[in-house]
Structure 1
Amino acid sequence: MSSPLEPSRVDEILRLDAQQRYQYLVKEVVTNQEVWILTDQHGCMMLTTEDEDCIPVWPNSEFAEAWISGEWQHCKAEAIPLARWHSHWTPGMLDDELSLVIFPNQDEDGLVLFPDELDHELKARAKKVKQRR
């Protein structure tokens, strides 16, 4: 589980571009062993691009919770353990032909990836971290 982020650090991270936020997400998810989503009584929240239905994911609770307003005010931030993400979520999203929006900002700007692309990157990062120990 991650430690709370200082507000100044949150602001600094939010100023990163979509690619930098993706790199930050990969690092944080591997370090903290969790992926953050928003859920309600019907399941996880989705964003729709022109072509795809996407599940937005965040690296820390602070960023997911920042989305709990307006039409999403009834949601709650939920951490998915990384092992469960790999074993259940990725295969399920692939079966349902869903994509991911990686760490979207308040303008809904974020990289759109297939779940197996994120999985590959997370596993590669975890392997590098393990080799350094």
Structure 2
Amino acid sequence: MTSISHPLLAVSPQNRAQQTVEMIASGAQIWILTDNDGCVMLTSEDEDGVPVWPDEALARLWATDDWADCQPMAISLDKWMSKWTPGLMQDALVIMVCPVPGEEGEVMAPEDFAAALQKA
């Protein structure tokens, strides 16, 4: 299975999303995966979105198979709120909160994710 032990791997997607928001808010950074084309995108049912993680180790867990060439990248919370949230809303993309192997994670609208971060 996974080569790391992380407390978020053992909780439900809903709890993982809540804890991810809290960890991002307290650490003031969000982790994404990037490749030569930019930010990694995922498709869930009919929605396209950007997966986000609270730390580099969890982002790196996703960087396997088709995403093996991807690198984790940190984005400051300020930059996320000022640039990424409006851009994702404009492009009608969603946030996939802390996907882990075998699970896509909770899907949130960018404005809901931003509101949760501000509340945390």
Q: TM-score range by the shorter chain?
A: over 0.9
d(CA) in 2 for partners of 1:35 and 1:21? 15
State the Cα RMSD in Å. 1.0
Larger Rg: 1
Deviation at 1:108, TM superposition (A): 3.1
* Structure 2 counterpart of 1:60: 55
Deviation at 1:109, TM superposition (A): 2.8
Output aligned runs, 1:106-121, within 5 Å: 106-121=101-116
> Contact (CA 8 Å) 2:32, 2:53: kept in 1 or not?
yes
* Structure 2 counterpart of 1:72: 67
Secondary structure at the aligned position of 1:106 is classed as coil
State the 4+ residue runs in structure 1 displaced beyond 6 angstroms.
none
Q: How high is the sequence identity, in percent, across the aligned residues?
A: 38
Structure ranking higher in strand proportion: 2
Please give the per-residue CA displacement for 1:56-82, whole angstroms capped at 9, x wherever unaligned. Answer: 000111000111111101100000100
Please give the per-residue CA displacement for 1:1-35, whole angstroms capped at 9, x wherever unaligned. Answer: xxxxxx54x1x320100111011111110111001
Q: Number of paired residues?
A: 117
Structure 1: 5+ residue runs without aligned partners? 1-6, 126-133
The question of 1:92 aligning with 2:53 is answered: no
Larger RCO, structure (CA 8 Å, separation 6 or more): 2
Deviation at 1:88, TM superposition (A): 0.1
d(CA) in 2 for partners of 1:118 and 1:14? 20
* Structure 1 counterpart of 2:117: 122
d(CA) in 2 for partners of 1:118 and 1:102? 9
- The counterpart of 2:39, out of the listed 41, 44, 47, is 44
d(CA) in 2 for partners of 1:59 and 1:30? 9
